[in-house]
Amino acid sequence: MLAPVQLLSATRQNLWRLTVIRTLVLAAQAGSVGIAYLFDLLPLPWLPLAVTLGVSMVLCVMTAIRLRTSWPVTELEYAVQLALDMLIHSVLLYFSGGSTNPFVSYYLVPLTIAAVTLPWLYSLTLSGLALVSYTLLLVQFYPMGTFPIARENMQIYGMWLSFALAAAVITFFAAKMAEELRRQEQLRAERREEGLHDQQLLAVATQAAGAAHELGTPLATMSVLIKEMRQDHSDPLLQEDLGVLQEQVQQCKQTLQQLVRAAEANRRLVIDEQDVTDWLDQALNRWHLMRPEASYRFQRLGQGTVPSLAPPPDLTQALLNLLNNAADACPEGLEVHLGWDAEEICISIRDHGAGVPPAIAEQIGKPFFTTKGKGFGLGLFLSKASVTRAGGSVKLYSHEEGGTLTELRLPRGARGDKHE
């Protein structure tokens, strides 16, 4: 099952960035007005300017509070916020020289932001608002009564400061937008990969269920025939062979029944939490009964309190599959190590077989790919799927001293279907 991705909406994220930019610009504007007032650089209407800056500060605070609520941020609200920024900027320009103020070019900043974040209709509306405001400032504004030389110097320095501020704001916003786009694309790629993986699992499960249904009738027929043969023949040796055959057929029937009911049973099963050492010990004992020809050495590397986990049946089966893979490569001298830290549990299995050929390393673990010459190549694929559902991972490496090292990593307290 795909993991739910907790993301802020793009419009909410853009409004957060706009609030940050608005706060920085407000600080720059307040600083400029404050310096001009303290050093008496310009004869400006200080009270209207202070009130306008106060309104801008209130807008910043109210927007920050609003963004902490769960209400969705619409594109219309975001466009209104940009329009309010332009209106506040127009008022500041009106009281500081109108169109002669070099900061008139700052109109381009909200227009650029709107162009890359909003539909064309909103961008067109905001462009019209900026054009109307600029046009009105050409004919109606509060003049600055300074000497021509001083006005010219202020115009030059003001143009430089306006360019620097606009360039910094646009670069900041564009860089954040590009970073967010890359992150969204990476998330989409991961989701596509997870979706493909789930489709493969569904295909395998469908085939397995179909095979179980089709094999049920022949096995039932074989079981009936074996019972009849045991009744018709009294030869002790034949009776012994037929008894073994009956047990094998019964084992096949039970395995098929478990296969059909596995998904439903996993959903309803109440899984008890246990120490990882107990779980691993039980799994190793069970596996050794299945593979008595294999020999292994177990070593616990973790220190301190033994972590616990609630392993579902498919996680135990995944571990058995990994042990079987190692035993198939070389049944003698397997090394099983258990370690843990504050975040995860690591179970490593090393065999002394041929190792992982580099040419096929990327193919191992994919469905219907096997290097054994037998089987369907589903064991490692299903094992990885079960471990992934529990929030863990399985990786295979060629050991530097020969053989293959298989690492199974699980988060502490792992449970099945971690993503549900």
Tens-place pLDDT, residues 334-387? 999 999 888 889 999 998 887 766 555 555 555 544 555 554 455 677 777 778
Instruction: Please report the pLDDT score of residue 371 as a whole number.
Output: 54
Instruction: Please report the pLDDT score of residue 202 as a whole number.
Output: 60
Calculate what percentage of the chain has a pLDDT beyond 70: 78
CA atoms within 13 A on the CB side of 24: 13
Question: Looking at the domain 274-411, which fold is it?
Answer: Heat Shock Protein 90 (3.30.565)
Least confident of 124-133, 219-228, 317-326, 345-354: 219-228
Q: Is 244 exposed, middle or buried (0-12, 13-18, 19+ CB in 10 A)?
A: exposed
Please, which residues bridge with residue 344 across strands?
411
Tens-place pLDDT, residues 201-254? 665 665 666 666 667 778 778 888 888 888 888 788 888 888 888 887 877 777
Dihedral angle, C-alpha 168, 137, 93, 87, nearest 10 °: -80
User: Residue 353 has which token pair?
Assistant: 């077989």
Sign of CA dihedral 311, 316, 318, 323: positive
pLDDT at 57 over 90: yes
Instruction: Please report the pLDDT score of residue 419 as a whole number.
Output: 41
pLDDT at 58 over 90: yes
Which one of 51-55, 69-73, 328-332 scores highest in mean pLDDT?
A: 51-55
Tens-place pLDDT, residues 103-122? 888 898 899 889 888 899 99
Length of the chain: 420
> Residue 271 — pLDDT band, cuts 50, 70, 90?
low
